[in-house]
Chains A and B, each alone.
Chain A
Amino acid sequence: MPQGDYIEEFRRRFGERPDQREKERKRRAREPHKVAVRSKELRGLKAKIFHRERFKEKIRLRKEERALKLKDAVAKKNDTGEDRLKNAIPAYLLDREDSVRAKALTNTIKQKRKEKGGKWDVPLPKVRPLPDDEVFRVIKTGKKAKQKEWKRMVTKVTFVGDGFTRRPPKYERFIRPMALRMRRANVTHPELNVTFSLEILGVKKNPSSPLYSQLGVITRGTIIEVNVSELGLVTTSGRVVWGKYAQVTNQPELDGTINAVMLV
């Protein structure tokens, strides 16, 4: 069982090591050398796989570079002051451009309506349904359990709330492994094009099965609720928005992290 976020805890208490930045920089700088050594040393099938990957990587990088250049050129062309004249601000705010001006998002009513209908206009409308035998592994331990085989272990990432207490292990039907529990998600705001690391408040809906929603299983396409109180969004009635929904876009069990898109 992992011992929680002990590294974070250490940093919170004592701060980072004074030379941490430097070490990271050096590690990054050494990275190409390591790769080069590896590519020379590898032989056979491993070399084939390695070079194939490297080839793909290089193509990706080149493409990205080209896209960036194109974007810059377009931005330069359009930057004739027209862009600034889009969102007008009053005279008393003109000199305060440094302050963060995130758009107030005002769609609680819309969101409520969605909730009622149970229909979601989401970025990922269709995902492959997950069968039970992929999500749950049958546990065969002990004499009693072996006879009936009713114990399951969840093999996907789960969210477990703060107030959760395990049942006595003898009666526990679903085991949610500590290693696959996650509390934070990287949520991208589609209009602002910024990504925040936000705390998860709960799993709203897993499209595959209501049982998964209940267990807090997070797979691709799952709607989760995240805590946005730090972003300072406001409703039309002038209250701070606390929770907002987001849809998971990656496969957390493979990536080890949750990436999501906020629903606006």
Chain B
Amino acid sequence: MVLSCFVPPDYERGQPTDRVCIGPPVDLPLTTTSLQLAQLLLSFLAQERERASKERWANLRTLAAASRNRKRDNSRNASDADQLTESQILADQERLAVLQAEHWEASEKERAEAELYADWSKRLEHLARELEASTTPDDTNSAGAAGIALQQLAALPFAFVVLETGREVRQTLADALSTTQMTSTERLLHIQFFLQASFRIRLISRCSATVPGHTDAILCLSFSPDAKWLASGSGDKTVRLWDPDAQLPRAMLNGHQGWVLNLAWSPDGRWLASGSMDHTVRIWDMESCLVSGRGSKTNASDVRWVFTGHSRWITALCWEPYHCNQGRCERLASASKDGSIRVWNIRLGRCERSLTGHSASVTALRWSGHGMLYSASQDCTIRVWEPSTGVCWKVLPIHGHWVNAMTLHTDHLLRCGAYSVEDNAGRSNGAAASRIRRLSVEEAADRVARLGPERLCAGSDDHTLSLLTLEFDRNQDWSTARWRVKRLTGHQQLVNHVSFSPDGRWIASASFDKSVRLWNGFSGQHVATFRQHVQAVYMCCWSSDSRLLATASRDSTVKVYDIREGLLKRDLPGHADEVYAIDWSVDGRTAASGGKDCVLKLWR
């Protein structure tokens, strides 16, 4: 038996535990499975929710009673009613109204949460029953059934990590404990829980198609947020659109005068922006070019706008998040080698703002869910901008050399924007049962907000990464907001790409020292190193359930890692030359990679 309590993902040591723990400390036997832990946690969360709602109700009631009393007093001696009490009553009413509104909002949220939790607990119960059935000895094919059930343990809605040892609870609590700690029953054990995707993405294991078409190296790849289309930009000055299901080319977008360096789908999937070596950004209308069915006869007329204004090539593109600006998706930020950032409006077709301040090439751009724009640059700084006014709120000179890449913990959600992957609750086996659903603006905003305070990770030429956590003071003021900086060291050469996992729990970094490193997304602790590549690693991308990581390297292979086991899962050779770009579709069915050998490979 060990005494243990649950703590939330952003828990840190040194805080008074009674405030952050979920539920009371409990005695758990060492044979507790992660399934039982999940059930326990769900019940605790339900209790917590009830307690909170009760508290709110009580608050509301006392306030209402107080105001009623005051009114009665007032009416009783109305003759000498003075200004003070009048104003007090008004203030009371106002406060009451605000509190009521808050209450309604909170109770709405709670109801949704309760539904979700009920659904989960039903599924957990089902799973528990299955497990029990499989372990009974009279079952004939018990071993197989048990294997399936154990596989499903990986698809629980929660992952548990014992904070003291830093190990994950795979099957039972005993796995995560070392022998010395098992014996002491006096110590309080902190079990940290993380929400994880309840669906599972199937491992990509083979090359299902090798599609030729481009006549020069493929430089960038991007799946549309609804995972229906794949766009690729190449050195042959074209953007091509592919159908990943049929594995066929769909359209070719001509127009650029130079290499196409970056691509970005708008979060609602309506527009495609491409940035090029010829200093222009082009906006393509996907509706007219794919849905209206003109097919491969696409030509320059499909380009909605050609934005000129930068004086060097385009280095990064970023759309406004879906939930900002009522889901209109009309603003796009582009960064260039000349050190400037421009914000374009595609309804009006003009440049709204030009943000200047960086003294060297801007390398990465992120538009956060809070509506702020972050930019990383080769002048060793990261800047925080407000795109609507063009104010630079903050300059963060945290690196000693170029900043190469940047990632936000909400990256995946902002990219998918209007779409979400959901598990098919009806099917009992959780594997690969996912579908795409379109979200409303409120849902999208809520989804982003649920991931907690902003975290930003940047990788640099000085061989380090930095993890920045945003800390607001009480009134959410950007001018006084503080950034807590954590330095992640370990790489031996420059870090070329960093990426937050979709659930914000991990950071993966790809470096030229041939290794991929995995870090804890909350604390910045080093978790694992993958050293299977024999050449510089260019890029990494996550599956949308955060359980798999795919990397592209100069050694012409793609490799897939399992995060849970910390192992190389698949080695995918096939490219004849360096792999420059890789992307995994949101629904996880297909991954695509392209590189110097000019062919696009689709992996299933």
Q: Which residues of A contact B (CB under 8 A)?
A: 85, 87-95, 103-104, 106, 232, 234-240
Query: Are A87 and B577 neighbours in the complex by a CB distance under 8 Å?
Result: no
CA distance A236 to B262 in the complex (A): 26
Given A91-B261, A91-B315: A239 and B217 within 8 A (CB)?
no
Query: A234 contacts which of B402, B538, B555 (Cβ < 8 Å)?
Result: B555
Q: Is the CB of B557 within 8 A of A238?
A: yes
6 example contacts (A-B, Cβ-Cβ < 8 A) are as follows A87-B216, A91-B314, A92-B405, A104-B577, A106-B556, A234-B535
Which residues of A have CB within 8 Å of B534?
Answer: 234, 238-240
Instruction: Please determine whether A104 and B259 come into contact, CB atoms closer than 8 angstroms.
Output: no
* Residues on B with beta carbons closer than 8 Å to the beta carbon of A104: 554-556, 576-578, 596
* Contact indicator A91/B313 (Cβ below 8 Å): yes
Contacts of B216 in A (CB 8 A): 87-88
- In the bound complex, do residue B573 and residue A238 qualify as a contact, i.e. CB atoms below 8 Å apart? yes
Whether a CB of chain A sits under 8 angstroms from the CB of B170 is no
State the Cβ distance, A62 to closest chain B Cβ, in Å: 41
| Chain B positions within 8 Å of A88 at CB level | 216-217, 219, 234-236, 259
Measured CB to CB, the nearest residue on chain A to B595 is A90
B281 part of interface (Cβ distance < 8 Å): no
A238 with B533: CB separation less than 8 A: yes
* A residues less than 8 Å from B576 (CB atoms): 104, 106, 236
Q: Is B574 engaged at the interface, CB distance under 8 Å to the other chain? A: yes
The 8 A CB mask of B527-556 against A (1 = contact, 0 = none) is: 000000111001000000000000001111
Could you tell me if A91 and B556 are in contact, using CB atoms closer than 8 angstroms?
no
- Contact partner of B538 (CB less than 8 A), chosen from A87, A92, A232, A235, is A92
Q: How far is the CB of A98 from chain B (nearest CB, A)?
A: 12
Q: Which residues does B use to contact A, with CB under 8 Å?
A: 216-217, 219-220, 234-236, 258-259, 261-262, 277, 313-316, 337, 361, 363, 378, 402, 404-405, 496-497, 533-535, 538, 553-557, 559, 571, 573-578, 580-581, 596
* Bound complex: CA A85 to CA B234 (Å): 11
Pick the contact of A237: B235, B261, B315, B557 (CB < 8 A). Answer: B557
Please tell me if the beta carbons of A92 and B535 are within 8 angstroms of each other in the complex: no
B556 adjacent to A90 (CB under 8 Å): no
| Known A-B contacts A232-B535, A238-B534, A238-B555; A92 and B496 likewise in contact (beta carbons under 8 Å) | yes
CA distance A232 to B553 in the complex (A): 14
Given A236-B574, A237-B573, CB of A87 within 8 Å of CB of B596: yes
Q: CA separation between A94 and B315, bound complex, in Å?
A: 10
Residue of A nearest to B220 (CB): A90
In the complex, A189 Cα to B363 Cα: how many Å?
A: 35
B553 pairs with A90, CB closer than 8 A: no
Which residue on chain A has the smallest CB distance to residue B598?
Answer: A88
Residues of A within 8 A of B555 (CB): 104, 234, 238-240
Residues on B with beta carbons closer than 8 Å to the beta carbon of A90: 217, 219-220, 261, 538, 580-581
Contacts of A95 in B (CB 8 A): 361, 378, 402
Question: Which of B217, B314, B533, B556 meets A89, CB within 8 Å?
Answer: B217
Nearest A residue (CB) for B378: A95
CB distance from A110 to the nearest CB of B (A): 11
Q: Which residues of A contact B571 (CB under 8 A)?
A: 237-238
Q: Which residues of A contact B577 (CB under 8 A)?
A: 103-104, 106
A104 to B217, CA, bound (A): 14
Q: Bound state CA distance, A85 and B216, in angstroms?
A: 10
B361, B555, B557, B559: residue with the most chain A Cβ atoms closer than 10 Å:
B555
Which residues on B sit within 8 Å (CB–CB) of A94? 261, 313, 337
B404 proximity list for chain A (CB < 8 A): 92
> A236 to B261, Cβ gap below 8 A?
no
CB distance from B77 to the nearest CB of A (A): 76
Residue contact B219 to A91, C-beta cutoff 8 Å = yes
Contacts of B236 in A (CB 8 A): 88
- Give Cα A81 to B584, complex, Å: 34
Is there contact, CB below 8 Å, between B235 and A87?
Answer: yes
Cβ A238 vs Cβ B578 within 8 A:
no
Report the 9 A-B pairs with minimum CB-CB distance, sorted nearest first.
A88-B235, A238-B557, A237-B573, A238-B555, A91-B261, A90-B219, A88-B217, A234-B555, A90-B580
Name the B residues within 8 Å of A238 (CB-CB): 533-535, 553, 555-557, 559, 571, 573
Q: How far is the CA of A237 from the CA of B277 in the complex (A)?
A: 32
The closest CB in chain B to the CB of A103 belongs to B577
A88 to B596, CA, bound (A): 8
Specify which chain A residues have a CB less than 8 angstroms from the CB of B402 in the assembled complex: 95
Tell me the minimal C-beta distance from A240 to chain B in angstroms: 5
Residue of B259, B261, B262, B538 touching A85 (CB-CB under 8 A): B259
B554 cross-chain contacts in A, Cβ below 8 A:
104, 234
Q: How far is the CA of A234 from the CA of B575 in the complex (A)?
A: 11
Contacts of A87 in B (CB 8 A): 216-217, 235, 596
Give the distance in Å from the alpha carbon of A87 to the alpha carbon of B596 in the complex. Answer: 8
A107 and chain B: residue at smallest CB distance: B576
If A91-B220, A92-B363 are given as contacts, then 4 extra A-B residue pairs at C-beta distance below 8 Å, sorted by A number, are A95-B361, A95-B378, A106-B577, A240-B555
In the complex, A106→B236 CA distance in Å? 23
Q: Is the CB of B235 within 8 A of A85?
A: yes
A240 to B555, CA, bound (A): 8
Closest chain-A Cβ to B312's Cβ sits at a distance in Å of 10
Shortest CB distance B373–A (Å): 18
The answer for the CA separation of A90 and B219 in the assembled complex, in Å, is 5
Kindly state the separation between the CA atoms of A104 and B497 in the bound complex, as whole angstroms. Answer: 22
CB distance from A9 to the nearest CB of B (A): 32
Q: Is the CB of A236 within 8 A of B573?
A: yes
Residues of B within 8 A of A103 (CB): 577
A residues in contact with B262, CB < 8 Å: 91
Residues of A contacting B557 in the complex (Cβ-Cβ under 8 angstroms): 237-238
Cα-based distance from A146 to B307 in the complex (angstroms): 92
| Closest beta carbon of chain B to A111's beta carbon, Å | 14
Which residues of the partner chain B approach A240 to less than 8 Å between Cβ atoms?
Answer: 534, 555
Residues of A within 8 A of B573 (CB): 236-238
- In angstroms, Cα B361 to Cα A185, docked, is 44
Q: Measured between alpha carbons, how far is A90 from B216 in the docked complex, in Å?
A: 12
Q: Nearest chain-A residue to B363 (Cβ)?
A: A92
